[in-house]
């Protein structure tokens, strides 16, 4: 369901196929973001949506070059998860309406996952659906948002509660944008990359163990290879389960434990990828207590996370508070806590068939 | 792409098939709305969305009976097109979140087109898409909203600018709800029924000429037959063009002229169906001037509209003002005014190839 080509891959979805172009060229004199995406813009109208962190880095060059061929309007939103809300979507709608843009418009998401999710949802809902292109500028969004079509915003009472499945016309993942990414965010992105190795492919974990030092030193070719592999893994999973009724849930490995950390510590204090890293260790520890993983495998998982400067220990959280937070997780069905655990490295399962005492032990290991 | 069954039809769409059940039974002692829809509710959670006009008529019986089997929550919105906005959608989201409803929820739209459009969009966007059922309680919405999957809200700067294509699990069109419908709204619904005859089937116009007196006298069986035929016509068109890139535009016959009337007179003063009726006459007059319709055919069109107590003359509007309002219509491409006109009764085309002087003559006939 996914076909590699020379510098990326083609993702096949129910609505249409689209390419993920993985390159290092867009910010060099040899090419540009505009040159890479122009042929995927079908109309004459373009709205670039970005945030006030990314705009100073990449907006002007993109805007100026696109303006040679298209009517270009820009919507710069404030940076941060707290702005992933209806008010920001309304700003995008207002920009589109003020410019009298119509069904032929293409929205361009220039930024990380928050910008991508919001721009995608605005594209899904403006005039019942218009085209959009993603230019993810963080490692996390290059790995996580390029495939799957999930778009949306937060509701005051819950994350990602409002949204749509909507596929882009193309994704431009330019590794050179990672040169301006803060080191903590690079690590947070690597956490998601390691996740794919743990749930799907032990051989990829071996590859990461060898290549993580180069990735952390911003070897763009190696980073590009890692991104490409992860997009491929995700595309394979999503193709089996576009609307997340089954196997796609495995992509949430580490996320239920991580959700507890993020919520308890307050969003933004732990980055999502950091919380997922510590959460994956907890999931691995539970898998070991059940008898699925060996002690050595748990140590191996911790070591690879440490290579990426990621936390392997959660903050101190009271066990009852943690269980309560798990009970409010979207992945809970009928009150039973279902977790994604590892049968072995590269083989994940979703299950609620484990002794709750073992979960209690894992949570109490670091409890307040 | 549509299959009739004993009391309705099955609509086939890209995502799934669903039935339109056309009945007169739901408000009698023999059946109920709840009995008709229960088997189409897959989860255990139900949110009924309605308005403060329809709620006193049908809500309590539906709510009480569903509550025997499901967790039922109600969201009553104020009645009127002016509330077809983001604030109403937010009220629906809040009701869903407050009740901790999840992906298994089914939304039920109990009301006319505004309630149906908003409930459908909330269903399309809550948790990236949940199920919904339509119980249209106006003739217009029974004919127009049962097929096609268009959902959405207005933006302060334009009607239906925000929305999604999202298909219901079933539609319950109960003719007995028309007993409580104001006479003007009944006529407005008949305008859309006549539209289908004019654009698609001359024989259906003959049928209407014979049966309109019974329809206006609330013969529910005849009304049900008319609704069924229109849903069939629309399903055939939509099946060819689910996302409105071509033939589906023909369903907007009379709407560009009607849009001028509605906008100029202020929304709500002319009902949508009334504006479409006068607009269809103007489109017919232009078709006659081009040489496509005969004088007798134009007279026949006016006469059938009069049988339904519909206006056949637009209000006095300055020609330049009218042309300006047409220029802002969504169906205009690249500044050329494209109109849906009749080659003959039952045969519509979309075209911009006509002498603009003829359009001027039609508009100036009733100009201020």
Asked if B93 and A161 come within 8 Å (Cβ–Cβ), the reply is: yes
- Contact list, A167 vs chain B (CB under 8 Å): none
Q: Which domains does chain A have, with CATH numbers?
A: 2-180 (3.40.50.1970), 183-364 (1.20.1090.10)
The CA dihedral of A137, A140, A145, A151, to the nearest 10 degrees, is -90
Residue A161, chain B, CB below 8 Å: the answer is yes
Query: A94: distance to nearest CA of chain B, Å?
Result: 9
| Chain B: residue whose CA lies nearest to A328 | B100
Tell me which of B18-22, B143-147, B236-240 is least confident. Answer: B236-240
Residue whose C-alpha is closest to residue A136's, from A116, A166, A160, A107 = A116
Please give the pLDDT value at position B14. Answer: 86
Tokens of A113: 């996952």
- Select from A127, A128, A162 the Cβ nearest to the Cβ of B126: A162
pLDDT band at B325, cuts 50/70/90? confident
Q: Does residue B312 contact residue B306 with C-beta atoms inside 8 Å?
A: yes
- Count CB neighbours of A358 within 10 A: 16
Residue B352 CA to residue B66 CA, distance in Å, equals 51
- Count CB neighbours of B292 within 10 A: 17
**Long-range contacts of the stretch B343-347 (C-beta < 8 A, 24+):** B343/B287, B343/B292, B344/B202, B344/B292, B344/B293, B344/B297, B345/B197, B345/B198, B345/B202, B345/B205, B345/B293, B345/B297, B345/B300, B345/B301, B346/B197, B346/B198, B346/B199, B346/B200, B346/B201, B346/B202, B346/B203, B346/B204, B346/B205, B347/B199
The CA dihedral of B246, B249, B253, B255, to the nearest 10 degrees, is -150
| Chain A: residue whose CA lies nearest to B92 | A162
Alpha-helix runs per DSSP H in chain A = 33-37, 60-67, 86-98, 113-125, 139-144, 183-200, 202-216, 220-240, 255-265, 272-290, 295-307, 319-327, 356-364
Q: What are phi and psi of B170, to 5 degrees?
A: -165, 160
B207 Cβ partners below 8 Å, 6+ apart? Answer: B197
Residue B327 CA to residue B320 CA, distance in Å, equals 10
- Contact list, B156 vs chain A (CB under 8 Å): 97
Note if A252 is an active site residue.
Answer: yes
Q: What are phi and psi of B262, to 5 degrees?
A: -60, -45
Does the annotation place B178 within a ligand binding site?
A: yes
Q: Residue B330 above 70 pLDDT? A: no
Residue A278 CA to residue A189 CA, distance in Å, equals 14
Q: Residue B123 above 80 pLDDT? A: yes
3-state secondary structure of B109: strand
| Chain B: residue whose CA lies nearest to A165 | B128
- Select from B121, B128, B330 the Cβ nearest to the Cβ of A165: B128
Give the bridge partners for A9, in sequence order: A4, A20
Environment class of residue B178 by beta-carbon count within 10 Å: exposed (0-12), middle (13-18) or buried (19+)? buried
Place of tokens 């307050």: A266
B128: left (phi over 0), alpha (psi -120 to 50) or beta: left
Q: Give the C-alpha distances (Å, rounded to integers) separating A351 from A86, A257, A280, B135.
A: 35, 14, 15, 39
The CA dihedral of A282, A286, A288, A292, to the nearest 10 degrees, is -120
| Chain B: residue whose CA lies nearest to A126 | B162
- Contact list, A129 vs chain B (CB under 8 Å): 164-165, 243
Query: A161: distance to nearest CA of chain B, Å?
Result: 5
A149: left (phi over 0), alpha (psi -120 to 50) or beta: left
Asked if A155 and B128 come within 8 Å (Cβ–Cβ), the reply is: no
Note if A289 is an active site residue.
Answer: no
Does the annotation place A98 within a ligand binding site?
A: no
- Count CB neighbours of A182 within 10 A: 11
A341 Cβ partners below 8 Å, 6+ apart? Answer: A283, A286, A287, A290, A292, A348, A349, A350, A351, A354
Residue B77 CA to residue B91 CA, distance in Å, equals 8
Tokens of B142: 């029974």
B188 Cβ partners below 8 Å, 6+ apart? Answer: B139, B140, B271, B272, B273, B274, B310
Residue B294 CA to residue B30 CA, distance in Å, equals 49
Does the annotation place A261 within a ligand binding site?
A: no
- Select from B102, B125, B243 the Cβ nearest to the Cβ of A163: B125
Range 304-343 of B in CB contact (< 8 A) with A: 330
The interface pTM score, or ipTM, of the predicted complex is 0.90
Planar angle of CA A74, A75, A76, nearest 5 degrees: 115
Please give the pLDDT value at position A16. Answer: 93
Does the annotation place A285 within a ligand binding site?
A: no
Asked if A243 and B129 come within 8 Å (Cβ–Cβ), the reply is: yes
Residue whose C-alpha is closest to residue A150's, from B119, B92, B125, B149 = B125
Asked if A126 and B161 come within 8 Å (Cβ–Cβ), the reply is: yes
pLDDT band at B238, cuts 50/70/90? confident
**What are the mean pLDDT values of chain A's consecutive 10-residue runs (368 residues total)?**
73 92 76 92 97 97 97 97 96 96 97 97 98 97 92 93 97 95 97 97 98 97 96 90 76 94 85 96 97 97 98 94 77 70 96 91 85
Taking each helix axis from N to C terminus, what angle separates A220-240 and A183-200, rounded to the nearest 10 degrees?
50
Q: Residue-wise over B63-81: b if at least 16 C-beta within 10 A, else e?
A: bebbeeebebbbbbbebee
Q: What are phi and psi of B57, to 5 degrees?
A: -85, -45
Active-site residues of B: which are they? 128, 150, 192, 234, 244, 248, 252, 255, 259, 272
pLDDT band at B366, cuts 50/70/90? confident
- Select from A90, A129, A150 the Cβ nearest to the Cβ of B128: A150
pLDDT band at B240, cuts 50/70/90? confident
Q: Residue B35 above 90 pLDDT? A: yes
The CA-based diameter of chain B, rounded to the nearest angstrom, is 64
Q: What are phi and psi of B50, to 5 degrees?
A: -145, -175
Does the annotation place A91 within a ligand binding site?
A: no
Please give the pLDDT value at position A227. Answer: 97
- Count CB neighbours of B26 within 10 A: 24
- Select from A86, A121, A161 the Cβ nearest to the Cβ of B86: A86
Range 6-35 of B in CB contact (< 8 A) with A: none
Give the bridge partners for A151, in sequence order: A164
pLDDT band at B247, cuts 50/70/90? confident
pLDDT 10s digits, B290-303: 999 999 999 999 99
Place of tokens 């039922």: B72
Tokens of A84: 């992933």
Residue A93, chain B, CB below 8 Å: the answer is yes
Residue B128, chain A, CB below 8 Å: the answer is yes
Residue B39 CA to residue B174 CA, distance in Å, equals 17
- Number of residues assigned to chain B: 368
Asked if B161 and A97 come within 8 Å (Cβ–Cβ), the reply is: yes
Based on its alpha-carbon atoms, the radius of gyration of chain A, rounded to whole angstroms, reads 20
Give the bridge partners for B241, in sequence order: none
Termini Cα distance of chain A? 46
Asked if A127 and B163 come within 8 Å (Cβ–Cβ), the reply is: yes
| Chain A: residue whose CA lies nearest to B117 | A128
User: B337 versus B203: which is more confidently predicted?
Assistant: B203
The CA dihedral of A298, A304, A307, A311, to the nearest 10 degrees, is -50
Element (H, E) at A76: strand A71-77
Note if A192 is an active site residue.
Answer: yes
Asked if B127 and A161 come within 8 Å (Cβ–Cβ), the reply is: yes
| Chain B: residue whose CA lies nearest to A245 | B103
Asked if A164 and B163 come within 8 Å (Cβ–Cβ), the reply is: no
Residue B87, chain A, CB below 8 Å: the answer is no
Q: Give the C-alpha distances (Å, rounded to integers) separating B3 from B11, B185, B236.
A: 7, 29, 10
| Chain B: residue whose CA lies nearest to A103 | B330
Please give the pLDDT value at position A244. Answer: 65
Residue A127, chain B, CB below 8 Å: the answer is yes
Q: Per the residue annotation, which of A65, A244, A265, A361 is the catalytic one?
A: A244
- Select from B128, B152, B161 the Cβ nearest to the Cβ of A164: B128
Asked if B163 and A125 come within 8 Å (Cβ–Cβ), the reply is: yes
A128: left (phi over 0), alpha (psi -120 to 50) or beta: left
Query: A83: distance to nearest CA of chain B, Å?
Result: 17
């Amino acid at each position: 369901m996914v076909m590699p080509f020379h510098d990326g891959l083609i993702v096949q979805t129910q609505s249409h196929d689209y390419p993920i172009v993985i390159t290092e060229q867009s910010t060099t004199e040899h090419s540009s973001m505009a040159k890479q995406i122009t042929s995927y813009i079908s109309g004459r109208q373009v709205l670039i949506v970005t945030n006030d962190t990314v705009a100073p880095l990449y907006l002007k060059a993109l805007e100026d070059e696109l303006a040679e061929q298209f009517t270009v309007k820009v919507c710069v939103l404030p940076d941060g998860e707290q702005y992933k809300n209806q008010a920001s979507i309304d700003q995008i709608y207002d920009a589109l309406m003020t410019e009298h843009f119509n069904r032929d418009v293409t929205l361009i998401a220039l930024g990380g996952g928050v910008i991508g999710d919001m721009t995608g949802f605005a594209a899904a809902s403006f005039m019942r659906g218009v085209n959009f292109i993603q230019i993810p500028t963080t490692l996390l969004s290059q790995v996580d948002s390029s495939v799957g079509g999930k778009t949306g915003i937060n509701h005051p009472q819950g994350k990602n509660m409002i949204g749509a499945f909507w596929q882009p016309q193309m994704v431009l993942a330019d590794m050179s944008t990672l040169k301006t990414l803060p080191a903590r965010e690079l690590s947070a992105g690597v956490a998601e990359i390691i996740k794919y190795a743990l749930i799907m492919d032990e051989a990829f974990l071996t590859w990461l163990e060898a290549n993580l030092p180069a990735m952390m030193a911003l070897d763009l070719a190696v980073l590009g290879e890692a991104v490409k592999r992860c997009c491929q893994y995700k595309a394979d999973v999503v193709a089996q389960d576009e609307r997340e009724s089954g196997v796609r849930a495995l992509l949430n490995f580490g996320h239920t434990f991580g959700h507890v950390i993020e919520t308890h510590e307050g969003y933004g204090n732990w980055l999502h990828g950091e919380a997922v890293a510590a959460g994956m260790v907890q999931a691995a520890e539970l898998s070991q207590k059940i008898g699925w993983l060996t002690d050595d495998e748990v140590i191996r998982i911790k070591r690879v996370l440490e290579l990426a400067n990621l936390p392997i220990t959660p903050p101190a959280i009271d066990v009852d508070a943690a269980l309560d937070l798990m009970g409010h997780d979207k992945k809970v069905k009928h009150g039973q806590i279902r977790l994604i655990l590892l049968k072995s490295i590269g083989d994940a399962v979703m299950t609620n068939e484990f002794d709750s005492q073992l979960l209690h032990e894992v949570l109490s290991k670091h409890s307040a």
